[in-house]
Structure 1
Amino acid sequence: MATTSMAGVSVSGFHNHHFASSNSNAATISSWKPVVAVLSNKNKMRVPFELKQGQSRIFHELPSGLSMEVIVQKKKKKNVEGEEEKKSPLVFVHGSYHAAWCWAEHWLPFFSASGFDCYALSLLAQGESDVPDGSVAGTLETHARDIADFVHHKVQSPPILVGHSFGGLIIQYYISSLGSNNLEENTYPKLRGAILVCSVPPSGNSGLVWRYLFTKPIAAFKVTRSLAAKAFQTSLPLCRETFFSATMEDHIVKRYQELMKESSRLPLFDLRKLNASLPVPSAPNCPVDVLVLGAKDDFIVDAEGLNETAKFYSVPPVCVDAVAHDMMLDVSWEKGAKVILSWINGLDK
């Protein structure tokens, strides 16, 4: 089978969830036009995520007129007098079949308790965000620009972006756009740092696809069935194997499975355009500090994919043992959170 057709098949298999696409990277800001807003009262998820203590849900209106769901959890105030230590805000970006709720479960409470203002976004047509006109939610460019618009209007100081899986690839596009000479204006606000969690590598899924097909054919079939055919939505064992550790209890997997079913009303991207839009443009003299974080038991992004991303940013990868792809929801979610906290605390030292 030809390389192109294999990549097309496996893109659908690996990512309608993670390995998705965008328009050409040659597109500039001047070519972007706002999408038509399709506002609806039906945006609420039929399986609601109940906010935890200290969390609130707001909606950020984008230039297109569409509104983006944001779950906010501000840092806990110190009870001592004197100037409070200033810490960079954290902005979290999910992957496909997820939404802002996936960060609000564990990591928002953890990082707000550690002194950070936290914002978890739901990309368009995901979670309770509005749905644009068309068959897909957007492109790498439009999703990155939506994040940038939120940062520009709602975040007071340069934030650290935290992206999971395909959200990590969107953040890579954001980074590549910082200071780009192709932009007519500074659309992308400065960042303090970026954290790529089990991220799709900058070249997309092609390398992963061929490695899985030749070295892990059974795994390749399972991932294709799970994500392309959406079998994770009906098979509890397959959902667990795709996203979580084997020790996660059935009732917890079931809860996340139901939330994931409801999280995506449109695919994030037109998958057929993936190969034409990647790799992400290189970022010589990368203007931000980057942490590349992987999971040892990741069923989707393998060690070579993790290493590719780390090499792209000239940083050593960090791989967390006994954690699966959905690091922020998994049984040992605190392992990755502690690695991130340590890395952030070391930025200013």
Structure 2
Amino acid sequence: MKIEVISKYPEDKKRSVPILFIHGAFAGAWCWEEYFLPYFADHGYESHALSLRGHGKSEGHASVWMNSVPDYIEDVCQVVRELGTSPILIGHSMGGWIVQKLMESFERPAGVLLAPIPADGLLSVAMRMLWLYPSFCQKMYLINMLPRSAWEYVASFQEMRDLFFSKAVSPETVKKYVPLFQHESYKAMWDMSGSKYSPQPRKVKTPLLVLGAENDVIISPDSVKSTARSYNTEARIFPNMGHAMMLDKDWQAVADQILDWLDKKVESGKSELKEESK
């Protein structure tokens, strides 16, 4: 399977480990490309973002509806093998759920969850959205069955903006990214709603940073805090921010929080090991 990977490399001093970014549902590697990839590269991290099969420029669009959670996990493992080293994993929404699953079996240098689907699955998220936004949930289900060209006739630009972005994001920015959203796998959604593939936090030994957004209508701050508690840590919730944290007007605050945490959890640990080995 040919998997798209977008990469940015540091020009100066290189950090000890690379970062691999994993996108959420309906998205692709493009969501990391404008801000996060160059910013983390500028701070010394070899930075990579993949598009899961059927997303972005990866193969498999014709069968995207039948992709499973194991398929997506294999995509990430394939890219990790190609990198040749164990990276820091940063996942958004569905990508955050995939990171949780990967941490069960393989200890990584670190993991970061941005507005992640909670460890107990997608069902609680779906039920909350059905209760609060019944009309739009029906539209989202419908547009996933329609050709991409028909989406604009079912869900308005304003509805898409309210779902993914905060009011601080300019209309011009939203218009740039909304056309890039695409179909998502029903099977993967079903997999994340049941107990068969649910992440098991007790198996995770890797340090995790859990971040959320105050105005996220998909993954609520309470859900993010619950996920953090599952891993015996505390969540950081960013004010006046929507679900697409990496594309928000204040994206840099999120990136700086991650960089600061990585300096403490990963880079400082590497320095201590070097000192001990002398």
Tell whether the structures are fold-level matches, with TM greater than 0.5: yes
Task: Select the residue among 164, 181, 194 that pairs with 1:243.
Answer: 164
Structure 2 gap ranges (5+): 145-149, 269-278
**Relative to structure 1, is the Cα distance of residues 332 and 314 closer, same or farther in structure 2, using a 3 angstrom cutoff?**
same
CA distance in 2, matches of 1:135, 1:286: 29
Q: Whole-Å Cα distance in 2 between the matches of residues 307 and 278 of structure 1?
A: 23
C-alpha displacement of 1:283:
3.7
What TM-score comes out, normalization by structure 2 length? 0.85
Q: CA RMSD in A?
A: 2.3
- Which of 87, 91, 94 is the matching residue for 1:166? 94
In structure 2, what is the equivalent of residue 228 of structure 1? 141
Alignment of 1:167-316 (within 5 A): 167-178=95-106, 190-212=107-129, 217=131, 219-225=132-138, 227-230=140-143, 233-234=151-152, 235-260=156-181, 263-264=182-183, 267=185, 269-278=187-196, 280-284=198-202, 286-316=204-234
Residue aligning to 1:110: 39
Match of 1:181 in 2: none
2:2: which partner in 1? 67
Q: SS of 2:243's equivalent?
A: coil
Greater share of residues in helix? 2
The Cα of 1:223 is off from its aligned counterpart by: 4.2
Q: Which amino acid aligns with 1:255?
A: K
Whole-Å separation in 2 of the counterparts to 1:329 and 1:237 = 17
Q: Could you tell me which runs of 5 or more consecutive residues in structure 1 were left unpaired when the two chains were aligned.
A: 1-65, 79-84, 179-189
Alignment partner, residue 272 of structure 2: none
Alpha-carbon distance between aligned partners in 2 of 1:233 and 1:257, rounded to the nearest angstrom: 10
**Offset, 1:208:** 3.0
Equivalent position of 2:274 in the other structure = none
Cα distance in 2 between the residues matched to 1:154 and 1:76: 18
CA distance, structure 2, for counterparts of residue 101 and residue 212 of structure 1: 26
Q: Note if contact 1:131-1:137 (Cα within 8 Å) is conserved in structure 2.
A: no
Shift in Å, 1:142 = 2.1
Aligned length: 259
Counterparts of 2:229 and 2:217 in 1: how far apart (Å)? 21
Give 1:147's aligned residue.
Answer: 76
Instruction: Find the residue that maps to 1:120 and give its secondary structure.
Output: strand
Secondary structure of 2:65's partner? coil
Counterparts of 1:222 and 1:74, CA distance in 2: 43
With CA pairs under 8 Å and 6+ residues apart, which has the higher RCO, 1 or 2? Answer: 1
SS of equivalent to 1:196: strand
Larger radius of gyration: 1
In structure 2, how many angstroms separate the alpha carbons of the residues matched to 1:206 and 1:345? Answer: 35
TM-score of the pair, normalised by structure 1: 0.68
- 1:206 Cα deviation from its structure 2 partner: 2.5
Query: What percentage of aligned pairs have identical amino acids?
Result: 28
Q: Which residue of structure 2 aligns with residue 326 of structure 1?
A: 244
Instruction: Find the aligned partners of 2:75 and 2:53 in 1 and give their Cα distance.
Output: 9
**Would the alpha carbon gap of residues 281 and 120 (structure 1) be closer, same or farther in structure 2, given more than 3 Å must change?**
closer
Distance in 2 between residues matched to 1:102 and 1:76, nearest whole Å: 22
Give the distance between the partners of 2:255 and 2:52, measured in 1 at CA.
22
Counterpart-to-counterpart distance in 2, 1:293 and 1:273: 23
